[in-house]
Structure 1
Amino acid sequence: MTLTTEPVRTDAQKAELSAELVRRAEALAQFVADGAAETERRGSVSAEAIEAFIDAGFFKILVPQSYGGYELGVDTMARVVRAIAPSCASTAWVLAFYIGHNWLHALFPEKSQDEVFGERSFALTPGTFAPSFTLTPTDGGYLASGRSSWNSGSAAAEWFMNGGLVKTEGQPPSLLFFLAPRSDVEVIENWDVAGLRGTASHDLALDQVFIPEHRTVDAASVMNGTSPGAALHDNPLYAMPVMPFIVGEILPVAVGTLRGAADEFTRVTQNRYLSDGSGATSKQSLRIAIGRGDAAAALADSMLETYLDMLGNTPTSELQQTIVRGRLKAEGAMITDFCATGVNQLVAAAGANGFRNSSPMQRYFRDINMMRGHATLDSERATESYGDVMLGLTPKAPV
């Protein structure tokens, strides 16, 4: 193990560091908001924003202390992301994945962590876990071929993390998660979508790329919280099953998007005039929308905090139970649906002006509705899977 350890912190010192990181995120929120429209036009988060996040220490939040990280909790990551999300959902989305995938790096074998964390204690890593690649066994590892989609943050990537099927004659395929450095992959710049347009979620292709054994990990062990990293690091954080973690990673983007829409709607309405010359706040329906939007955003924050509290205070052995994982995934998806409904109501109340490209309202609308289609946040699939587990059936989607 390459040791670049951070000092051991007391609980009080960890809490102060966590609060400081959130303050840094809040201080960067206006900078992110000022660049939100350009982030969309460019299709990626700016290099300046990435550097600001590096300087703020965000990408070290979940990295083990033994590799120079802060080894804080999912709640710190979520609150940092939540602070950025009202300004630009695309930027917050990439930030969330970059922070969270450093936690995923900590689940791989030790030699892989030495490689990834050795230079500066973190990496910028997009990727997806869908079994998009074929892994053919060879001496010392595998040859990877295939193509994957939805690699958020590809523009600044240093590594890519994906899923691959190992097919052995006479046996069912096994799923591995694997790592490939940016130099070994072909990034296909095809991110042309309606929402989350600034995330650079491009496709990537691999053609017979060698993947050393140590850059792979059994997918089931990651899903269940029994990965090599869970044995290497004492902190139960690294024995957390992956699905509840992923919900905690991206849910604050949805919650922050609703807050951004509520605040923008209030601002616009206070400065808007109706056709008869009266102020828009004289219209009852708009006052109702202001009140409903702000209350909904506050409620969404409360639901997020409840989720984070459950995640942080539920024993690992309980989190590893399928029924608990299914419930947490379903709850996260339903909170996202709540946020999307709130944004959609506000955009409808904003009228036609809310759909001008100059209005952030249309961006909140497009982003939240793109978000709710994410495989983890799809409420119908998540609640169906939870229902399957409750009935003793095998869920059709991973929990």
Structure 2
Amino acid sequence: MTVPNKNAVLDKIMERAAELRELGPVNESLGRLDDKAAKVLRDAGMIRMLQPKNHGGLETHPREFAEAVMGIASLDGSTGWVAGIVGIHPWEMAMADPKVQEEIWGEDPDVWIASPYAPMGIARPVDGGYIFNGRWQFSSGTDHCDWIFLGAFLGDEDGKMAMPPTSLHMILPRSDYTIVEDSWDVAGLRGTGSKDIIVKDAFVPTYRTIEFNKVVEGIQPKEAGLTNTLYHVPFSCAFPLGITSAVIGMAEGALAHHLAWQRERVQITGTKVKDDPYVLYAIGEATAEIQASRAALLENVDRMYDKVAAGQEISFAERAAGRRIQVRAAWRAAHATTEIMMRSGGNALRNSNPIQRFWRDAHMGLAHAIHVPGSVYHASALTDLDVEVPQGPMRSMI
């Protein structure tokens, strides 16, 4: 198994760990990342970890990226979430037309790109490109981004979805879309600033588009002539990596604060927590679950990376199994935070206690579409039984 180099980005982040911890409540109150938190990520090179070297990127091993996201999320869930989501976008941008890469990074390699990829818009073909319209939710970290990936369905000449459906990723500059302020009022991940986006009659030239299916099937990086193994790791492994890593990091953050809280805590019965075998059992079990989630996710990306590096293709069955591992890792970690929260006593509910924030953030992280288990578990079980998974929604996230 490939062993990545020392994680220089994570080291830089940890040098400013106290700053990111203190900014957690500030991010939550603002409803977005404080500028200081974003600067820590920029200074450390977090968002450039998967960016191509010819545009100032680091092209690190994806395991290093996941470890960095976990480390950040253990300090503040919202900052880790933004790092994981915005941090994956340079990976796909490396596959885009060189012309749009130059537009984005030509003068400043620290330009960030937002999303979401959900196909909530219609791209109507015209000469040289598309007329694009739509509204999207959940654009994490969008206030700190100057470009955006937006998912779309190809439209017909009347602006209606063409059949059969064809999904595109559209790339737009900040001047071509509107961020809807006050559209992010939520129970968890409040500091991510995952606001709505509106696009109205924007012209998107063809070179600023990518066919989603080509990314999923590994065609796009080959057509782009990319040689680094990083860019040939399957989309269904790379894209969820930052999101699930963030949830696991939040669980690690919850655990760290829980242990600090419990060391001197005396329960209402007069029993010290450190003398209560039932609580200690729960803490031990939760710790094991979080550690297992971390190990499973990192082993999964290592295995995918090593197989690609050896020149081997990743089958659909392997992609489905990888998604199963990734989804389950997130759910195990989040469930462990519930055990932690419920064993922390009533004072853990106070806004001044960070345990409740990590608990809320981790569970809201499960709401992301990439963590929905149903179709993933179904598809992976079918492949284990040597049954061909039909084309359609069951394969769409794999």
1:121 aligns with 2:118: no
The offset of 1:171, in angstroms, is: 4.7
Q: Secondary structure at the residue paired with 2:286?
A: helix
The offset of 1:195, in angstroms, is: 1.1
Q: Which residue of 1 aligns with 2:165?
A: 173
Q: Which residue of 1 aligns with 2:179?
A: 187
TM-score, normalising length: structure 1: 0.91
From the superposition, tell whether residues 275 and 174 of structure 1 become closer, same or farther in structure 2 (CA, over 3 Å). closer
Amino acid corresponding to residue 220 of structure 1 in structure 2? N
From the superposition, tell whether residues 318 and 337 of structure 1 become closer, same or farther in structure 2 (CA, over 3 Å). farther
Cα contact 2:290–2:332 (8 A) shared by 1: no
1:385 aligns with 2:379: yes
Instruction: Deviation per CA, 1:55-75: give whole Å up to 9, x if none.
Output: 212222111122222111211
Amino acid corresponding to residue 67 of structure 1 in structure 2? H
Once residues 218 and 254 of structure 1 are traced to their aligned partners in structure 2, the CA distance between those partners, rounded to angstroms, is 29
1:252 aligns with 2:245: yes
1:79 aligns with 2:76: no
Amino acid corresponding to residue 330 of structure 1 in structure 2? R
Q: How does 1:284-323 map to 2 (within 5 A)?
A: 284-315=277-308, 318=312, 320-323=314-317
Q: Which residue of 2 aligns with 1:148?
A: 136
Instruction: Deviation per CA, 1:265-294: give whole Å up to 9, x if none.
Output: 111111212235443322222222332233
The offset of 1:40, in angstroms, is: 0.8
1:280 aligns with 2:273: yes
From the superposition, tell whether residues 121 and 319 of structure 1 become closer, same or farther in structure 2 (CA, over 3 Å). farther
Instruction: Deviation per CA, 1:305-330: give whole Å up to 9, x if none.
Output: 21231132122765542111111111
Q: Which residue of 2 aligns with 1:3?
A: none
Q: 1:364 aligns with which of 355, 358, 362?
A: 358
Q: Percent identity?
A: 26
Instruction: Deviation per CA, 1:222-257: give whole Å up to 9, x if none.
Output: 111111575332213223321110122222112111
1:325 aligns with 2:319: yes
Once residues 32 and 295 of structure 2 are traced to their aligned partners in structure 1, the CA distance between those partners, rounded to angstroms, is 30
Q: Which moved more, 1:337-346 or 1:244-253?
A: 244-253
1:267 aligns with 2:264: no
Q: Secondary structure at the residue paired with 1:234?
A: coil
Once residues 300 and 393 of structure 1 are traced to their aligned partners in structure 2, the CA distance between those partners, rounded to angstroms, is 27
Amino acid corresponding to residue 182 of structure 1 in structure 2? R
Q: 2:216 aligns with which of 214, 218, 223?
A: 223
1:351 aligns with 2:334: no
Once residues 150 and 318 of structure 1 are traced to their aligned partners in structure 2, the CA distance between those partners, rounded to angstroms, is 35
Once residues 241 and 153 of structure 1 are traced to their aligned partners in structure 2, the CA distance between those partners, rounded to angstroms, is 24
From the superposition, tell whether residues 258 and 319 of structure 1 become closer, same or farther in structure 2 (CA, over 3 Å). farther
Cα contact 2:297–2:325 (8 A) shared by 1: no
Once residues 282 and 91 of structure 1 are traced to their aligned partners in structure 2, the CA distance between those partners, rounded to angstroms, is 35
Cα contact 2:51–2:90 (8 A) shared by 1: yes
Once residues 248 and 318 of structure 1 are traced to their aligned partners in structure 2, the CA distance between those partners, rounded to angstroms, is 21
Q: Which residue of 2 aligns with 1:6?
A: none
Once residues 81 and 389 of structure 1 are traced to their aligned partners in structure 2, the CA distance between those partners, rounded to angstroms, is 31
